[in-house]
Structure 1
Amino acid sequence: MKYHKIDSSLFIKNRKNFMAHMQPNSIAVFNSNDIYPISADSTMPFEQHRDIFYLSGVDQEESILILYPDSPNPKNREVLFLKETNEHIAVWEGEKLTKDAAFETSGIKTVYWLQDKEKLLFEMMTQAETVYINTNEHYRANIETETREDRFTKWLKNKYPAHRVAKSNPILQRLRSVKDKLELDLIQNACNITEKGFRRVLEFVKPGVWEFDIEAEFMHEFLRNRSKKFAYTPIVASGNNANVLHYIENNQQCKAGDLILLDVGAEYANYSSDMSRTIPVSGRFTKRQKEVYNAVNRVKNDATKLLVPGALWAEYHKEVGKLMTSELLGLSLIDKADVKNENPDWPAYKKYFMHGTSHHMGLDTHDYGLLHEPIKENMVFTVEPGIYIPDEGFGIRLEDDVVVQKSGEPFNLMRNIPIEADEIEALMNKS
């Protein structure tokens, strides 16, 4: 791994919290992701399933975690199964976790090789009454590929049909949405790497560069700071490309006078950052561009103040809609008649700001969190309003990542990343 070792106390605490929510005499099972094939002998880079990582810190394929807090055998209350390593694997693929290394990573003392899984699981299942299966129930999930977890669940339910089945996802949705101090430090590190990439780009951009040149500058800075990749597919959208919300082609030349919308974030230790900035190709905003830019920035700053413990997701977005409506009126993009006659299900402001303002962030860029439950302290959210004006040839989105505090305004993890229009211009024009 490129990242520094994470203190195992994080994973010990996460398991303890999860097991506190399990039913009596129950087992929970978590699988690593597959290594997905492309074609021939090519594969996609391995990405660990975030749930097993959250509970163990294990970051390799063919791993299984079993939690059985009421096991009659104390050794079997937390068990890891790993792919057995050997000298041949070490030569061809690099070193895998040994049993000792797995303990150092996870704090789990009982570690077996994978070939012992069925024998030990049979012993535990004959003693337990309920088994927790791990299904993906994220509100944005769109699943077409059968996962290793899916295959295991089919096998488990077929082999042990008499057991009650419970879901681990509701427990994880609540636990993962509230961040531990160690997690906040990891997310902060991801944001710091993103800052370095952005400052590099501010010095690089000028008329004539290509969007993919900018993408490469970010990736250069990310890799040299121990990030293995972008946290999500980067958006580098110049000119009217910014009005395509999920523009990812990044294959156009940046022209003088245009703006570039950057929606880019580094990952670090599987934790995400998520930043949006909009910068002028020529190093200066036009008067109109700056008017719109400052309006978006005001909405972002005012919306951030609304993210407080106890706030409700739906009400938060209604309030942000009012903020945006006011700014759009000031920019003469809508008028009072538009607001008076608006459809409540699609308010007038949605013509220029059609997406949500915030989402949970953490191990996943769109992280776990139950949207019908009140916001809590130490949840991490993006705040990302935008105004998109195809008729004027530009779109602007600004986005920071913030931590909800017990009292007062959220803590901005991207507080050091330039965002004020005047600062952006100054940095792009320094000699």
Structure 2
Amino acid sequence: MKYLPIDNELFINNRKNFVSRLKPSSIAIFHSNDEFPRNGDQTHIFKQNPDFFYLSGIDQEQSILILFPECPNILYREVLFLRQTNEHIAVWEGHKYTKDEARAASGIQNVYWLSEYDNILHSIINYADNIYLNTNENDGYLHTVPYRDMRMISDLKQKYPLHHYQRSAPVLRDLRPVKSNIEIELTKKACAITRDAFVRVLKFVKPGVTEYEIEAEVTHEFLRQRATGHGYNPIIASGKNAIVLHYNDNNQVCRDGDVILFDFGAEYANYNADLSRSIPVNGRFTPRQRDVYNAVLRVMRAATKLIVTGTLSAEYHEEVGRIMTSELISLGLLKQHEVNKQDPKMPLYKRYFMHGTSHHLGIDVHDYASRYKPFEAGNILTCEPGIYIPEEGLGIRIENDILITENGNIDLMADIPVEADHIEEIMNSR
């Protein structure tokens, strides 16, 4: 791992919170992610299962975690299983966790090799009534690939058909959105790296550079500061490309007079930042570009004030829609009399602002959380309004990451340039 060691108190406390919510006489089993084939004998770069990492701090393939708080054998109340290395693995793949390193990273004292998993599990599982198993229940995900957790469910149900099977995901859906101090600091680190990448780009962009050259500058800064890399595929969308919400080609020349929409964020220690900014290629907004930019900025600031404890997501997005509607009328994109007659189920502002304003942020960029639970202290949410005008070849999005506290909220990206004047000042100071 590129990132510095994480205080294992994070994972110790996460496990305590998780097992405290289990039914009596329960065992919970978590698997690391699969290594996904790419082509030939290659695999994609490994990315850890976020739930497994949340509970263990182990960032390695072929790992298993067992939690059985009432196990009659105290050695097996918390057990971690790791892939045992050998000379061949060391030569071809490099270093793997030793048992002592895994103990230090996770805070779990009972660490075994993966070859011992079946025997140890069988020796204890029949003393549990309930078996908690984990699946990806993010409501933005539709299951099509038989990933490791799903395969293990089938295997266990075949071997132990009479146990009561439970879902770990609802427990984690309540726990993961509320960030601890350690998680907040890791997110701040990701935001700080992202800030430096954006400032670097402001000093780099000029007419004639390509989107991929800008992407390279961002990547350079991320890796230079120990980030794992990008939290998601970076969007470097100049001109009309900004109308495509998930534009990833990043292969066009940036032209004088156009605006570039950026959406990128560093991943540090598996925690993510998520930033959007829009800047003029030549260092100066036109009057129209500035008007649209400032409208989006006003919506973002108004929306940020609503991201507090007790806010319901549906009501929040509805209110942001009203704020955006007013701005779109001022820009001449909507007419008041049309808005007065609009279908409430299909509001007209969605012609120019078609995505949501906020999502939870954490180990997943679109972090696992309930869209029906009020916002809580400890939640981190994005705030990312945008206006996209196809007929003008103009797309503007501005996005910061917001931490909710009991006393209001904190903008974790407040130190990243966002005012149009500030952006122009930096771009023209080269």
Normalized against structure 1, the TM-score is what?
0.99
Q: Does 1:308 align with 2:308?
A: yes
* Structure 2 equivalent of residue 180 of structure 1: 180
4+ long deviations beyond 6 Å: none
Amino acid at match of 2:423: I
Other structure's SS at 2:405 match = coil
* Structure 2 equivalent of residue 253 of structure 1: 253
**For residues 341 and 241 of structure 1, what CA distance do their matches in structure 2 show?**
32
Aligned-pair CA distance for 1:144: 2.3
Amino acid at match of 1:20: S
**For residues 168 and 162 of structure 1, what CA distance do their matches in structure 2 show?**
18
* Structure 1 equivalent of residue 221 of structure 2: 221
Aligned-pair CA distance for 1:236: 0.6
Amino acid at match of 1:412: D
**For residues 397 and 361 of structure 1, what CA distance do their matches in structure 2 show?**
18
Amino acid at match of 2:58: V
Q: How does 1:129-144 map to 2 (within 5 A)?
A: 129-144=129-144
Q: Residues 165-196 of structure 1: CA distance to partner in whole angstroms, max 9, x if unpaired?
A: 00000000110010000000001100111011
Q: Residues 287-338 of structure 1: CA distance to partner in whole angstroms, max 9, x if unpaired?
A: 0000010000000011001011111110001110111011111111101112
Q: Residues 196-222 of structure 1: CA distance to partner in whole angstroms, max 9, x if unpaired?
A: 110110011000111111111100110
* Structure 1 equivalent of residue 123 of structure 2: 123
**Number of equivalenced pairs:** 430
Q: Residues 228-283 of structure 1: CA distance to partner in whole angstroms, max 9, x if unpaired?
A: 21100111100011011111111111000000000011100011110000000000
Aligned-pair CA distance for 1:95: 1.4
Q: How does 1:351-390 map to 2 (within 5 A)?
A: 351-390=351-390
**For residues 177 and 353 of structure 1, what CA distance do their matches in structure 2 show?**
26
Other structure's SS at 1:263 match = strand
* Structure 2 equivalent of residue 412 of structure 1: 411
Other structure's SS at 1:328 match = helix
**For residues 330 and 81 of structure 1, what CA distance do their matches in structure 2 show?**
60
Other structure's SS at 1:177 match = coil
* Structure 2 equivalent of residue 159 of structure 1: 159
Q: Does 1:32 align with 2:36?
A: no
**For residues 168 and 237 of structure 1, what CA distance do their matches in structure 2 show?**
39
* Structure 1 equivalent of residue 268 of structure 2: 268
**For residues 95 and 255 of structure 2, what CA distance do their matches in structure 1 show?**
48
Other structure's SS at 2:306 match = coil
Aligned-pair CA distance for 1:85: 1.8
Aligned-pair CA distance for 1:343: 1.1
* Structure 1 equivalent of residue 282 of structure 2: 282
* Structure 1 equivalent of residue 44 of structure 2: 44
Other structure's SS at 1:127 match = coil
**For residues 194 and 140 of structure 1, what CA distance do their matches in structure 2 show?**
25
**For residues 78 and 234 of structure 1, what CA distance do their matches in structure 2 show?**
38
Q: Residues 342-393 of structure 1: CA distance to partner in whole angstroms, max 9, x if unpaired?
A: 1111111111111100000000000011111111001000000000001111
Amino acid at match of 1:172: L
Q: Which moved more, 1:85-94 or 1:276-285?
A: 85-94
Amino acid at match of 1:422: D
Amino acid at match of 1:322: R
**For residues 245 and 86 of structure 2, what CA distance do their matches in structure 1 show?**
47
Amino acid at match of 1:427: I
Amino acid at match of 1:99: K
**For residues 363 and 169 of structure 2, what CA distance do their matches in structure 1 show?**
15
**For residues 287 and 189 of structure 2, what CA distance do their matches in structure 1 show?**
35
Aligned-pair CA distance for 1:157: 1.0
Aligned-pair CA distance for 1:421: 0.3
* Structure 2 equivalent of residue 16 of structure 1: 16
Q: Does 1:424 align with 2:418?
A: no
**For residues 26 and 370 of structure 1, what CA distance do their matches in structure 2 show?**
24
Amino acid at match of 1:119: N
Other structure's SS at 2:203 match = helix
Q: Which moved more, 1:161-170 or 1:330-339?
A: 330-339
Normalized against structure 2, the TM-score is what?
0.99
Aligned-pair CA distance for 1:94: 1.3
**For residues 126 and 137 of structure 2, what CA distance do their matches in structure 1 show?**
28
Percent of pairs with identical residues: 55
Consecutive unaligned residues of structure 2, counting only runs of 5 or more, are none
**For residues 235 and 406 of structure 2, what CA distance do their matches in structure 1 show?**
33
* Structure 1 equivalent of residue 341 of structure 2: 341
